[in-house]
Chain A
């Protein structure tokens, strides 16, 4: 039965066979981290503090991910290892889970802020959860990706022990720091940049290996 179960999981794991899933996620994290960085390190009247600029920036990042992924899948992956169309029910399920988890995380942050908890512990917990979901979603299919899991875990723990003044310097004047404490924004900014970089490197290596080890079969009709 376990073998049948693993067969049922194969299509989900196939999505990242070319590393594109990681590249997309890494690009998104780097993009959002970079935006917060720009807001924190630019003058108050800079374009990065305008809401329209933020909306345009987010749309550009999401469009690059959407169309970039589509282009790579259409031009490279589908012709080498095949085409898969995922069930819409699965995407809906992910959306529903995200819709429940996001407000819970937001409530958790508000509570942590009001009670003056040490927020770096929250950020470290977020990092550990992220590493665990990466291990389940990606690393169990590709053995060398466990290096990334351990690197994420180590980074999460390191963030928990960094001095608070570092985070403050990272997100000093971000507009996000008006409602939320500087330390929290700085810690999340650092996490996004670190995890984003790790995913981009890991995805890049997977993509390179995929190109190197797979070839499109000769076309004599399928």
Chain B
């Protein structure tokens, strides 16, 4: 296996999946956002988005806080320190591989 192939094989699969990559990249650029924003930007339906977010939460990359905006329930999400580090590493490796 050459160096480039090894780098590709080493990519974080939790982030490499296109849906989760979109979520992590969008969250990386902000402090926090809500579920609706991610749904609007990614074009995913609620079920798919929830499932990706759950996996990212399990991996410790995303923190989810359920709250209220006035009387309306709101789900706030932000990338944890581990999530930021993992995304930076992922970008670096992807650059090396391409």
Contacts and interface: CB of A to CB of B under 8 A. Distances in A.
Interface of A: 1, 4, 7-12, 14, 78-79, 81-88, 217, 219, 221-222
Given A11-B29, A79-B72, A221-B73, 14 more contacts: A1-B98, A4-B21, A7-B26, A7-B29, A10-B29, A82-B33, A83-B34, A84-B34, A86-B31, A87-B29, A87-B30, A222-B46, A222-B73, A222-B75
Secondary structure type dominating chain B contacts = helix
Interface of B: 21-22, 25-26, 28-41, 46, 69, 72-76, 91, 94-95, 98
Given A4-B21, A8-B25, A222 B31 contact: no
Q: Which of B30, B32, B73 has the most chain A CB atoms inside 10 A of its CB? A: B30
Nearest to A75: B70
The 4 closest A-B pairs by CB, nearest first: A82-B37, A82-B36, A7-B25, A222-B35
Nearest to B24: A7
Contacts of B29: 7-12, 87
Contacts of B39: 82
Contacts of A217: 36
